[in-house]
């Protein structure tokens, strides 16, 4: 017969008001037919089933759960859950709250109607939940920040399971999403000496395919789009940072060859960077 156990630890940093805050974490081997609820909570509570079986009921659905399943209790929702009579579950949990908590779980793919997902056999979630429990037991000031890191990693794994192509916004295809990813990659990385090959590798597609869909969607090749983006960013620096040299501005937009930068700037705007800066200053 399984021995019933229970262990929990609270965040040493007291919650008052914040964007995101882990309240506590715990673990338990429940007794047969151990029941909680129906009841409501005023925080988010995520459970991971390590062994055994049980059931979970929300206002919207009923779930039969087993080892490897995760279930999320949302604030102010009437729920109940119970361990199996012959194979009671052993689970870990983490409770969290804050102004950005709802946004975090929504991004992961949880909704009031979708409260459960099954993890893969190599899931890192149980280990991370154990780490949160252990770090809270140290009572160190840093345990608060560590718990937030683990929570984000847990939600990232949930997102991998819950978010599918079918969950894309209405009218947005996989191709459109890939093009958006390309634009975001270039917009966030333009200041570094990145290449189109690096971008293609990071997105997991070959260059010919990405170039074709990108030009069809934007009218520009990725190479031209990236260069135009860099030149546009340089115009802003030329106007707003008069103390920077042309070489420094060139390097700041990811072009280490200042002569090449000047040639491409003239190609796009019909004047050199120095001429552009002088004319822009005269207009102010």
> pTM for the full model?
0.66
What percent of the chain stands above pLDDT 90?
74
The confidence band for 284, taking pLDDT boundaries of 50, 70 and 90, is low
Contact 52, 60 (CB under 8 A): no
What pLDDT sits at residue 172?
Answer: 54
For residue 72, which of 45, 42, 101 has the smallest C-alpha distance? 45
Question: Tokens representing 77?
Answer: 């929702």
For residue 99, which of 159, 150, 43, 40 has the smallest C-alpha distance? 43
| Residues 258-278, mean pLDDT to the nearest whole number | 93
Contacts of residue 42, defined as CB under 8 A and 6 or more positions apart, other chains included, come to 75, 76, 97
Domains of the chain plus CATH, in order, are 5-163 (2.60.120.280), 166-284 (1.10.10.60)
Q: Is the pLDDT of residue 102 over 60?
A: yes
For residue 56, which of 78, 41, 87, 28 has the smallest C-alpha distance? 78
Among the listed ranges 46-60, 96-110, 145-159, 163-177, which one has the minimum average pLDDT value?
Answer: 163-177
């Amino acid at each position: 017969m399984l021995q019933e156990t229970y262990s929990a630890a609270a965040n040493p940093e007291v919650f008052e008001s914040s964007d995101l805050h882990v309240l506590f974490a715990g673990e338990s081997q429940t007794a047969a037919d151990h029941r909680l609820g129906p009841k409501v909570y005023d925080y988010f509570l995520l459970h991971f089933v390590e062994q055994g079986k049980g059931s979970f009921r929300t206002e919207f659905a009923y779930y039969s759960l087993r080892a490897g399943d995760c279930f999320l209790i949302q604030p102010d929702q009437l729920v109940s859950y119970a361990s199996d009579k012959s194979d009671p579950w052993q689970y870990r949990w983490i409770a969290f709250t804050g102004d950005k908590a709802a946004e975090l779980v929504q991004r992961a793919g949880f909704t009031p109607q979708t409260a459960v997902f099954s993890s893969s056999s190599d899931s890192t979630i149980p280990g991370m939940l154990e780490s949160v429990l252990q770090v809270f037991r140290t009572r160190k000031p840093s345990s608060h920040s560590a718990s937030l890191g683990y929570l984000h990693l847990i939600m990232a794994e949930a997102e991998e399971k819950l978010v599918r192509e079918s969950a894309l916004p209405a009218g947005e295809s996989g191709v459109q999403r890939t093009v958006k990813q390309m634009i975001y990659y270039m917009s966030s990385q333009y200041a570094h000496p990145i290449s189109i090959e690096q971008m293609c590798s990071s997105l997991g597609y070959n260059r010919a395919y990405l170039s074709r869909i990108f030009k069809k969607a934007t009218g520009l090749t990725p190479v031209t789009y990236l260069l135009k983006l860099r030149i546009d960013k340089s115009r802003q620096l030329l106007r707003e940072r008069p103390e920077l040299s042309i070489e420094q501005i060139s390097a700041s937009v990811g072009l280490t060859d200042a002569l090449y930068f000047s040639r491409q700037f003239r190609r796009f705007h019909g004047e050199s960077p120095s001429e552009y800066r002088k004319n822009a200053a005269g207009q102010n």
